[in-house]
């Protein structure tokens, strides 16, 4: 992928950090399956499976560990 | 999501930190499936599957690692 | 849950820390399925599945990472 | 369990640390299923499943992270 | 494998770090299955399974933790 | 196992560290299933399953975290 989508891990708030973790999780999928039409086709079944949603939340949690550490946990 | 639901990772006690980890885990699901009616429909089967409950507990454990580190493990 | 079940991550020994990790893992389940009767009903099949037991041990391992770090690994 | 099986995370060598990680992984199972006869009955099928063996190795890897950090990675 | 494919974990940007995490994830597969023809044969089904894509994204997330820490999170 | 197979986590290069992570992952399997003939029998099906290969890569990623930290990420 040639576009610049990740220039920093630093965010203003924990919530923005959590949303960056979601972006990282989706990008991890997109590097393996770059075809947007395929991803869209897979989405409905995926978003209706409790197991798939838990698995997605786990990837977000792992990426959020990274982003939170990068931001020194947004401690004042 | 436009509401501000995560303004800090700091909590007064480890138990509040654990409950924040649960919130983070649920938000990780909700970003993928924002439709509350769908989530409610999935819940009964989910909450009666031992495997699903263990998987949920694992996501909480990962998020609790983050929250605990943010709070320097609530050491005095 | 209104009861105070987690007031500190500090334990006297690594073994008590491991047992706290087990408590954390079970609490992670209980926040999703608070009904004790359901949990008791799920238990027999669960405790006879090698895959389920390995998954449970994994959640304990993740929580033990947190507790061990909190206790600075019980180094003297 | 009333016996003292974990008094320290410190080991003389990385290999002993890896073996401690295996002990931790097995103890994580045993706290959920304390009946040794059941565990012995589950073992044959388990030890012949590639997926189960990979899952077991993953739990060991997670526990080894903890033990290795406790020992400051056995750096001289 | 005799070729030198990993000489440093340091990258100029977080995005290059994420791409290195993808490389690490693929290498982890390739050490177990070095036959490129087999990998190519497995790919289509794999890239059309939502569960497989989430699992792949999780491995990337774990490797990205390592690369990000190595780069001190690309903090200025 | 009585042979000394792990005397240090320190390696000269990141690539050697990655290969040590692979060794750790395989040893984690071998402690559970020490019979080499069984492992050889399981291998073909295993190495042709995309899910199994991803799971194997995940264990390597977790072990690589440990080895990379031990080596202070091979920073100069």
Residue C7 lies in a domain: no
Q: Do A58 and B4 touch (CB under 8 A)?
A: no
CA distances from C31 to A35, B70, C6, C43, E4 (A): 38, 22, 14, 16, 48
Beta carbons of B18 and B12 less than 8 angstroms apart: no
Q: What is the mean pLDDT of each run of 10 residues along chain D (76 residues)?
A: 89 98 97 95 93 97 98 94
Q: Do B6 and A22 touch (CB under 8 A)?
A: no
Name the residue among C14, C57, C73 with its Cβ closest to that of D25.
Answer: C57
Q: B69 is written with which tokens?
A: 């580190």
Task: Supply the pLDDT for residue A2.
Answer: 65
Beta carbons of E10 and E52 less than 8 angstroms apart: no
Task: Supply the pLDDT for residue E33.
Answer: 95
Number of domains in chain B: 1
Among chain A, residues having any CB pair with chain E shorter than 8 Å are 4-10, 24-29, 31-33, 38, 42-43, 45-46, 49, 51-52, 55-56, 58-59, 62-63, 65-66, 69-70
| pLDDT cut 90: percent of chain E above it | 92
Instruction: List the subunits that have 3+ CB pairs under 8 angstroms with B.
Output: A, C
Residue D6 lies in a domain: no
Residue D9 lies in a domain: no
For chain E, what is the mean pLDDT? Answer: 95
| pLDDT cut 70: percent of chain B above it | 97
Whether ipTM exceeds 0.95: yes
Residue F2 lies in a domain: no
Return the axis-axis angle of helices A50-70 and B14-32, rounded to nearest 10°. 120
State how far Cα B35 lies from the chain centre. 17
Looking at chain A, which residue has its C-alpha nearest residue E26?
Answer: A32
Domain hosting residue C30, numbered range: 14-74
* F38 vs D contacts (CB less than 8 Å): 47-48
Q: B25 is written with which tokens?
A: 């885990």
pLDDT band at B19 (very low <50, low <70, confident <90, very high): very high
Phi, psi at E64, each rounded to 5°: -65, -35
- Nearest-Cα distance to chain B for C29, in Å, is 5
Residue A9 lies in a domain: no
Residue A30 C-beta-side C-alpha neighbours within 13 Å = 13
Name the residue among D24, D55, D63 with its Cβ closest to that of C54.
Answer: D55
Return d(Cα B73, Cα E24) in angstroms, integer: 31
Q: Judge whether residue A1 has pLDDT over 90.
A: no
Q: Judge whether residue C1 has pLDDT over 60.
A: no
Looking at chain B, which residue has its C-alpha nearest residue A74?
Answer: B8
Name the residue among C6, C65, C66 with its Cβ closest to that of B15.
Answer: C6
| pLDDT cut 90: percent of chain A above it | 92
For chain A, what is the mean pLDDT? Answer: 95
DSSP assignment string, B30-65: HHH---HHHHHHHHHHHTT-HHHHHHHHHHHHHHHH
* F29 vs D contacts (CB less than 8 Å): 53-54, 56-57
Residue among B56, B61, B69, B72 with most chain C CBs within 10 A, to mutate: B61
Sign of CA dihedral C3, C6, C7, C13: positive
Return d(Cα F65, Cα F63) in angstroms, integer: 5
Looking at chain F, which residue has its C-alpha nearest residue E33?
Answer: F47
Q: Do A56 and B4 touch (CB under 8 A)?
A: no
Q: Do C47 and D32 touch (CB under 8 A)?
A: yes
Residue F37 lies in a domain: yes
Residue among B59, B65, B69 with most chain A CBs within 10 A, to mutate: B59
Residue E8 lies in a domain: no
Task: Supply the pLDDT for residue A62.
Answer: 98
Residue B33 lies in a domain: yes
């Amino acid at each position: 992928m040639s576009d610049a989508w990740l220039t920093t891990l630093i965010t203003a708030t924990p919530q923005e950090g959590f949303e960056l973790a979601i972006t990282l999780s989706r990008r991890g999928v997109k590097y393996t399956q770059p075809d947007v039409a395929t991803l869209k086709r897979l989405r409905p079944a995926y978003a209706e499976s409790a197991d798939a949603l838990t698995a997605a939340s786990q990837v977000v949690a792992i990426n959020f560990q990274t982003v939170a550490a990068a931001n020194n946990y947004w401690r004042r």
